[in-house]
Amino acid sequence: MISFNSEKLIFKLDTPNTSYVFGVEDKDKYLIHYYYGKRISGDDVRFLAVPDERALPSLNKRDKLSFLDCAPYEYPTKGVGDFRTPALSVKNEKGNEAAELFYDSHKIIKGKTVKGKLPGTFGETADVLEVVLKDPVLDLTVILRYGVFNDVDAITRSVIVKNESDKPLTLTRVLSLSLDTDDRDYELITLYGSWARERTIDRKPLRHGHQGVSSMRGITSHQEHPFMALVTPDTTQRTGDVYGFNFVYSGNFDASVYLNQFNFSRVTLGINPEGFEWKLDPGAEFDSQEAVMVFSDEGLGRMTRTFHDLYRNHLIRSPYKNRKRPILINNWEATYFDFNTEKLLSIAKQASKSGIEMLVMDDGWFGNRFDDNRALGDWNVNEEKLPGGLKYLVDEVNKLGLKFGIWMEPEMVSPDSDLYRAHPDWAIQIEGREAGLARNQYVLDLTRSEVLEHTWRSIKAVMDSANIEYVKWDMNRPLADIGSKGLDKEHLGEFYHRYVLAVYELQNRLVTQYPDLLLENCSSGGARFDPGMLYFSPQIWCSDDTDAVERLSIQEGTAIVYPLSSMGAHVSDCPNHVLGRTVPFETRGHIALAGTFGYELDITRIPEEDKNMIPKQVEMYHKYNDLVREGDYFRLASVRENGIYDSWMVVKKDKKECLVTFVGVMNRPNYKPFKIRLEGLIPDKLYKDEDTGKEYYGDILMNAGITINRFHGDARSALIHLKCE
């Protein structure tokens, strides 16, 4: 709900359990932030930000800078006296870089829709507040957009910047969100990693100065992630105040906190200003991408479940978002590049007998692609591998009762390819400088319309050639050597953002023209796992590291923000191809169940014992997937923290059913059973253990816990399914 106190010029944004309050300082018309936290009754909390009116510049011009350097601005600017991190920086034709914004007007809009083709949240249960600010010197208008959800404790932020002058302006920084917090001691939680160990949780005390995470790789990256949270030191999964932030974007980002000399923190989130400039001609406007804010006074778990509900109900559009995904088998770790039609059909035949529902053909089916040194960009079928072409293979797979999916990497081109030989200038490069290779490939300059259109025609030709029901869209290297024949020097600073917009354009065309398609995004595993991608694909490949034990930490870090239904997770072969570790087949299945669930192995060659377990795992998936996909997620224990065991549970929305997963990662000589306290149950209801028949009251399970006997051996796991009438 959005309200405006016209007498006191105060805006109040209420979600079910939180309030966000800011207002206009009447004479100066500065937009000042007052409060964000647990829902409050009134709106007049101006005293929290302006305890002494005599400090206002309208009454004390001699110390204007003192006010500007400590006032909690709703959208701070650079160059006029606020020396903290700005959200907006504008350069005029003389090179002056300063802006000062004053309140002009506002409007409240019922319902929230997505503007244009860019990713964003939506919903009839949300309202939008647009606050218009103006800089009279620059003739610049800035519209702050707030999306307020009435069914989930989330608020979104974005910005529209308009040049209403007759002279060009240059934007050098347009962040989507700025929030000045109180002076409590906070700790900062971020996610970091690298290839095969994405989204590791990092928690540390907040220190004075600047800290945060960012990407300059053209993608959100393995190394950092566009999420952070400020938490009080006592915060656990169940207790403590949490402010969580996430950016709905798939390119360069900056997520920062600045702790100033008065112990107040400023959080900023948006497109990374490094390498960014945007020329704003007279009459033109720039739209920032959306950022999400979530507050929880019940610990990290409440924050997590809020993000999950928001993304499941208000971001993911796919028809699969509320449906079971087909259980797929991917041939990558089974064959790598060494496959043909006969081999794929042998996998499909055995998979069909085991209850698997889709065959996905990974890299190596096109052009002269016998290894990863060539042929990217040549999206024509390699009939030496696939006699009869793609349609023959797909038809034969369909006859076996399986759907068919395919891997593509449309953004890339190999130096050894027909496409590169014909159009070497289509690769991103700086004229006169040798461009650097990664994985022996270049990136296509999709900011050029002719390159984008060729790429789309290539994708469409593949899609139209056979009954393809799933696409794995990969992207295996970062952007570098930024140059473009399509952009002059005045617009080259727009390249990174224009590239992301081009990727969005291609993926939007794909899911629009093929509305029943299941699209899964991927980027060397999880390097582009972000909300922007979820808008186009309901699932993203979580990591190339399919080792079940490593996946515990990777999936824990991912699930702190993203729904389990979005995490691409497979049962793979052992010894694992990345680590060489061997994990019991049953455990691999239990861990993959906390994701989309599929297989990445050669089913024709695995041990009979494992092969015979697949139909049981298929049955397990169909039995529990609705619960896993739609239920509330609770983190019970973390092997990352205790070094011994891992546990989580998913609870049905009506709280009458739950599934607990427990993994004893490292066995120790201790004969006492593990004790796990459950969450989210109805205290006075009896829950029956499906396997043992034992019954427990919900409050006993939550306060006293349930015992799990220790396993013999490492990486052993168990599922506990509980239901009540």
- CATH number of the domain at 85-314, please? 2.70.98.60
Per the prediction, the chain carries an average pLDDT of 96
Give the pLDDT confidence of 325-334 residue by residue, as tens digits. 999 999 999 9
pLDDT above 90 for 445: yes
Q: Is 292 left (phi over 0), alpha (psi -120 to 50) or beta?
A: beta
For range 240-268, the mean pLDDT = 96
Q: Which of 88, 163, 159 is nearest to 129 (CA)?
A: 159
Residue 139: active-site member: no
Give the pLDDT confidence of 486-520 residue by residue, as tens digits. 999 999 999 999 999 999 999 999 999 999 999 99
Asked if 85-314 and 326-523 have one fold, the answer is: no
Tokens read off for 721: 């399914």
At residue 55 the predicted structure's pLDDT band, cuts being 50, 70 and 90, is low
Q: What b/e sequence results for 31-49 when a residue is b if at least 16 CB atoms lie within 10 Å of its CB, and e otherwise?
A: bbbbbbbeeeeebebbeeb
What are the residue boundaries of the structural domains of the chain, listed by start? 85-314, 326-523, 542-629, 636-723
Q: What are phi and psi of 580, to 5 degrees?
A: 80, 10
Q: How far, in Å, are 36, 77, 141, 291 from residue 131 at the CA level?
A: 18, 16, 10, 16
Q: How far, in Å, are 276, 355, 400, 493, 512 from residue 94 at the CA level?
A: 19, 68, 69, 18, 44
Q: What's the CATH class of domain 326-523? A: alpha beta
Q: pTM value?
A: 0.97
Strand 358-361 with 403-408, pairing: parallel
Marked catalytic residue, from 544, 573, 602, 646: 544
Q: What b/e sequence results for 531-551 when a residue is b if at least 16 CB atoms lie within 10 Å of its CB, and e otherwise?
A: bbbbbbbbbbbbbbbbbbbbb
Q: Which of 264, 280, 270 is nearest to 214 (CA)?
A: 270
Give the pLDDT confidence of 656-689 residue by residue, as tens digits. 999 999 999 998 887 789 999 999 999 999 999 9
User: Do the Cβ atoms of 511 and 318 come closer than 8 Å?
Assistant: yes
The amino acid that residue 374 corresponds to is R
Q: How far apart are CA 720 and CA 661, in angstroms?
A: 7
Instruction: Look at 113-117, 262-266, 681-685 and tell me which has the smallest mean pLDDT.
Output: 113-117
Angle at which helix 585-592 crosses helix 608-630, to 10 degrees, equals 20
- CATH number of the domain at 636-723, please? 2.60.40.1180
pLDDT at residue 54 in the model: 61
Marked catalytic residue, from 254, 474, 602, 610: 474
Residue 684: active-site member: no
- Provide the CB-side half-sphere exposure for 183 (13 A, CA): 7
The amino acid that residue 252 corresponds to is N
Give the pLDDT confidence of 121-142 residue by residue, as tens digits. 999 999 999 999 999 999 999 9
